[in-house]
């Protein structure tokens, strides 16, 4: 587990969460709407990334766990030490304005965006499905535009 426990502050000096493990992606779930693009990009540049030797916790009857290689395969993926779960950092920091998106508003955000993802058995398949959703594609465009 991470040992850096301190208050996380954003540029506007508002405390985002007190006593939160610094730079853990889960600290920002649902809290990025009022941030400027500069604030978001700064936080993204400093998100905690587990090192290659990090020992991810095992879960379930099959003792499955998050795989470090997924962070290289899915560049948008972030791991939360606090939650022992995965999140889409693009969808957290550049969320589409609607909770339900896609043609006919049929795609609801959930795991990886509003909730941690920790169903490791199907992880790669589910990550591939996530990156094909309309809302993820829209959020990727928003992130790219934030650099302009």
Domains in the chain: boundaries: 5-146
Query: Exposed (0-12), middle (13-18) or buried (19+): which is 41, by Cβ within 10 Å?
Result: middle
Residue 146: name the closest of 3, 32, 48, 1 by CA: 32
Angstrom distances, CA of residue 106 to CA of 65, 109, 115:
31, 10, 18
Per-residue pLDDT of the chain (148 residues; tens, 9 = 90+): 444 444 444 433 344 444 456 689 999 998 898 899 999 999 999 999 999 999 999 988 899 999 999 999 999 999 999 999 999 999 999 987 765 455 555 556 678 998 999 999 999 999 999 999 988 998 999 898 887 7
Instruction: Answer yes or no: pTM beyond 0.75.
Output: yes
Residue 78: name the closest of 26, 20, 129 by CA: 26
Hey, is 86 helix, strand or coil?
strand
């Amino acid at each position: 587990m991470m040992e850096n426990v301190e208050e996380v502050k954003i540029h506007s000096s508002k405390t985002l969460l007190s006593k939160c493990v610094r730079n853990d992606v889960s600290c920002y779930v649902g809290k990025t709407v009022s941030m400027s693009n500069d604030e978001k990009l700064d936080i993204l540049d400093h998100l905690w990334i587990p090192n290659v030797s990090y020992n991810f916790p095992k879960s379930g009857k099959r003792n499955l766990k998050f795989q470090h290689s997924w962070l290289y395969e899915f560049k948008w993926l972030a791991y939360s030490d606090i939650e022992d779960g995965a999140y889409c950092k693009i969808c957290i920091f550049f969320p589409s304005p609607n909770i339900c998106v896609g043609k006919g508003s049929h795609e609801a955000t959930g795991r990886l965006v509003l909730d941690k993802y920790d169903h490791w058995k199907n992880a790669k398949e589910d990550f591939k499905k996530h990156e094909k959703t309309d809302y993820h594609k829209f959020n990727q465009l928003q992130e790219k535009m934030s650099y302009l």
